[in-house]
Structures are given as structure tokens and as C-alpha cells.
């Protein structure tokens, strides 16, 4: 069975390689993906006990940023290593990691490649964020004697139907975990139905509700000043947008700016490599793009222990006179700064929800007390969104017409904007505590 899986993975990789070359996806860390770790990781691994945290991408790595300080406090004699699959996840991990910790890309899930990495790292504890079920990785870690914990687990509708088709394989993988910590009762029920041992499954809540514990990362007044905003300006931020909805959001903004001249707009594409594409779209609609990276350096720390020298490129903020007659629209073209941007916002639209991408997480802007608007496609975070809707803590819209109406309401009614933000912040505070529950359960393994 393992031989067949390895062979299938290798064949898929060969077929998929031209696509990776053309799109430049996963061009970073190729040697690490092939199991050839840098000397730094080898050196750290040789010094003592290792906690290996794996988070596939940026969103999952943000959850790891909440857990990491608690792990350092609880296991002071251990060294933490972070792995990710994507470049954005790797970059966030490098911000989170201290000088005595390491970051690398997850090796391809081929047994001889994975085994080489495990023999080098020899982790005592492996923490897998959300639901990353790599058969060879999990099996070989189990064989090495490492304790494994699935942390902040969730199973979307799409993943659930996919896992059910290979339930026999999934069940065998789940049996190998020491603990399986799920975000909600529904997630727990799903993973139990896939064969997870009942005695190992716990519901700990969503770690991302604890993002509020990190606090605001930049002064609102300072950041708005760097964006050239007046006190009377209302900043609309569209966070983590996807192709197909940028146009819809921009059409709504184009209509609203004619009615409300103090409305300002910043768009943060989910993938920063789409920045040039967004610029062309803005020009098409008659707006002047303004990349965030071209603004003055911002004293910021998106996550604990960010290395110095990672601020934005020095460049004076253009005076409004330079933009006369051409409405500027800001583009967030840097990684790891979206929560910082939310501090300056008045209204936040959650991307990936006007198109069938499943939506992004509304917790970050909600934790800052921002008025949140979200589309109808929220299957990636359905339990979180349900909590917000039940407590009247966000506005859900079905299309661009409803989006336009919702934003208009929040522009003309500052009290409603404030009420929505306070409700959103309360939802986050009422659901926090997952990180402490998680760390206590991990401690119980030792």
C-alpha cells in the first residue's frame, strides 16, 4: 500500500512539475522539500528535545503564533522547529521563530524523503495545525515514537466528503495520533465518523479566537496618517480577496465614492503575487493604485519576535494634491500585515466569500472591534460565521448589490458601525481560551 502511494506521489509530482515551473509555485525551499535540510536545522536538532510544529500556510501559521509562546513557557528545555508548505506560511514562521528556533519547508510525502527528515530532527512532540493528514509523515513519526497532536482541527464540507471516500486509510492515520483537538462539536463528530478513537478526541475551540490576545499591532492614528487619511475619512478594507470578487467589490466602491467623497479603499489580495493584476483592474476603473510597500516605513510587529529591518521601503506618502482628480486605492502588497491594516479600518469586507472560495476568517478584524461584512460563501468558517450572525456581529450579503447597501448603511450610520464592531469584539472575547485548553491537554501527555 505504501509503495503504491509513494509511486503515485512521485508520478503526480513529475506530471505536475511543468505547472510548478510555469507558475513559480513552490519554487522556494526545493532542497528542503526533497529532505535536504539546512545545517542550521541539523545543528538545532542535535542539541536536545524538539517540538515540531507544522502549519500548511499563512492562516494556520497565525494560529501557531498564539501557541508558540505557551509552548516555550511550558517546555523551556525544548527547541521549536516550524514547517510549512507555502512561501507565505514560511515567511510568517520566520517572524514567529526566535533566534534559537528553526524554520523549514515540509518534505514531500515520499517515505524515504520523510524518513530522512525525521531521523535528522528526531522530534519528541509533533503538532499538526488544522487537518494535515500526510500518510507517510504520520506513519513514520508514529514509528519513531514521537507524540503527535492534531491541533485546532477542522474538517470542511469538501474535505469531509473527500475523506469519506478513503475512510479506511484516514482511519488508520487518525489512530496514530496521541490527541485530536477539534475546533467545534461538528468537527469532532466528523472526525469520529472517519475513525478517530473517541478517547483521543476533544473539542477545544478555535485557536484563532485567541488572536485578540496579541493585541493591536499598530496605532490607528499613526497608520491612518501614513495612509494620508483625514479624521473624517472612512476606510473600507477588503481583506484576502480572490480573483472574481475584486471586480465586484470595486464596482460597489465606484458607486459609493460618488455619493460619499470621504470614503477610502484598501484592497488586500489573498495572494500578493496578484498585485500587478489588481493594479491593472484599478486603472481600468479610473483609480490610481498605491502600493502599501511604497509608503513610509511603519513601526510594526505583526507577530512576536519579528526580525528588525523588515519594514516597508522608505518613500514619502504622496500629498493629496498629487492625487487630485484621481482617487487613490491602496493595495496591500506585503505579507503578514493585514491585521495591522485592520487597525486603521472602519469597515472590513472578508474576502473569498462573494465567490465560491469558502471565505476567510473574520476573527482578526472582529477582535479589533471593526464592523465586518461577509459574503454568503463561508463554508470554510461556517461555525465561526454562525457565531457572529447569531450575536448580530456582522452583516452577511449575497451579491454586490447587497454589499453596496451594507457598506452604505455603515457609512451613514456611525452608531450601527460602532454597535456591530462592539458585538464582534464580544464574540471573540467570549470564545477565547482555546490556546490554554490546548496547552493543558498537551501537557497531560507528559
The catalytic residues are: 60
Q: Using CA atoms, how far apart are residues 48 and 33, in angstroms rounded to an integer?
A: 24
Q: Name residue, grid cell 470554510.
A: 380
**What is the Cα gyration radius of the chain?**
22
Q: Using CA atoms, how far apart are residues 365 and 362, in angstroms rounded to an integer?
A: 6
Q: Using CA atoms, how far apart are residues 255 and 83, in angstroms rounded to an integer?
A: 44
* DSSP codes of every residue in 101-123: -EEEEPPPS-HHHHHHHHHHH--
If residue 348 lies in a helix (H) or strand (E), which one and from where to where? strand 347-350
- Number of other CB atoms surrounding residue 239 within 10 Å: 27
Taking each helix axis from N to C terminus, what angle separates 2-23 and 111-121, rounded to the nearest 10 degrees? 90
- Number of other CB atoms surrounding residue 224 within 10 Å: 20
Q: Using CA atoms, how far apart are residues 70 and 29, in angstroms rounded to an integer?
A: 28
Q: Using CA atoms, how far apart are residues 122 and 156, in angstroms rounded to an integer?
A: 32
Q: Which DSSP symbol is given to 128?
A: E
* Cα 16 to the center of its chain, rounded Å: 25
Amino acid at each position: 500500500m505504501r509503495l503504491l502511494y509513494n509511486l503515485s506521489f512521485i508520478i503526480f509530482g513529475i506530471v505536475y512539475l511543468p505547472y510548478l515551473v510555469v507558475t513559480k509555485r513552490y519554487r522556494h525551499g526545493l532542497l528542503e522539500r526533497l529532505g535536504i535540510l539546512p545545517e542550521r536545522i541539523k545543528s538545532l536538532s542535535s542539541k536536545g528535545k524538539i517540538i515540531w510544529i507544522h502549519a500548511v500556510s499563512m492562516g494556520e501559521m497565525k494560529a501557531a503564533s498564539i501557541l508558540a509562546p505557551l509552548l516555550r513557557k511550558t517546555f523551556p528545555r525544548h527547541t521549536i522547529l516550524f514547517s510549512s508548505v507555502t512561501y507565505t506560511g514560511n515567511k510568517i514562521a520566520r517572524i514567529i521563530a526566535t533566534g534559537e528556533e528553526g524554520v523549514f519547508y515540509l518534505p514531500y510525502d515520499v517515505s524515504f524523503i520523510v524518513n530522512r527528515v525525521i531521523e535528522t530532527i528526531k522530534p519528541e512532540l509533533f503538532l499538526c495545525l488544522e487537518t494535515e493528514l500526510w500518510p507517510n509523515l504520520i506513519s513514520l513519526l508514529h514509528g519513531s515514537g514521537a507524540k503527535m497532536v492534531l491541533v485546532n482541527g477542522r474538517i470542511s464540507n469538501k474535505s469531509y466528503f473527500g475523506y469519506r471516500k478513503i475512510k479506511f486509510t484516514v482511519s488508520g492515520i487518525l489512530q496514530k495520533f496521541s490527541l485530536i483537538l477539534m475546533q467545534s462539536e461538528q468537527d469532532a463528530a466528523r472526525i469520529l465518523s472517519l475513525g478517530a478513537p473517541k478517547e483521543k478526541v476533544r473539542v477545544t475551540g478555535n485557536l484563532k479566537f485567541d488572536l485578540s490576545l496579541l493585541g493591536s499591532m499598530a496605532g490607528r492614528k499613526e497608520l491612518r496618517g501614513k495612509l494620508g487619511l483625514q479624521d473624517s475619512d472612512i476606510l473600507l478594507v477588503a481583506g484576502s480577496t480572490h480573483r472574481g470578487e475584486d471586480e465586484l467589490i470595486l464596482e460597489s466602491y465606484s458607486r459609493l465614492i460618488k455619493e460619499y467623497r470621504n470614503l477610502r479603499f484598501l484592497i488586500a489580495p489573498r495572494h500578493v503575487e496578484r498585485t500587478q493584476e489588481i493594479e491593472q483592474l484599478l486603472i481600468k476603473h479610473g483609480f490610481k493604485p498605491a502600493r502599501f510597500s511604497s509608503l513610509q516605513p511603519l513601526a510594526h510587529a505583526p507577530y512576536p519576535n519579528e526580525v528588525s529591518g523588515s519594514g516597508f521601503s522608505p518613500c514619502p506618502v504622496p500629498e493629496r494634491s498629487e492625487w487630485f482628480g484621481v482617487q487613490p486605492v491602496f493595495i496591500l502588497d506585503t505579507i503578514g500585515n493585514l491585521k495591522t491594516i485592520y487597525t486603521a479600518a472602519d469597515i472590513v469586507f472578508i474576502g473569498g466569500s462573494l465567490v465560491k472560495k469558502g471565505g476567510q476568517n473574520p476573527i482578526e478584524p472582529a477582535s479589533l472591534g471593526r464592523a465586518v461584512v461577509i459574503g454568503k460563501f463561508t463554508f470554510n468558517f461556517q461555525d465561526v460565521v454562525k457565531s457572529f450572525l447569531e450575536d448580530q456581529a456582522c452583516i452577511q450579503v449575497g451579491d454586490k448589490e447587497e454589499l453596496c447597501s451594507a457598506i452604505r448603511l455603515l457609512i451613514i450610520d456611525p452608531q450601527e458601525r460602532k454597535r456591530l464592531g462592539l458585538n464582534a469584539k464580544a464574540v471573540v472575547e467570549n470564545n477565547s481560551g482555546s490556546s490554554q485548553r490546548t496547552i493543558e491537554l498537551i501537557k497531560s501527555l507528559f
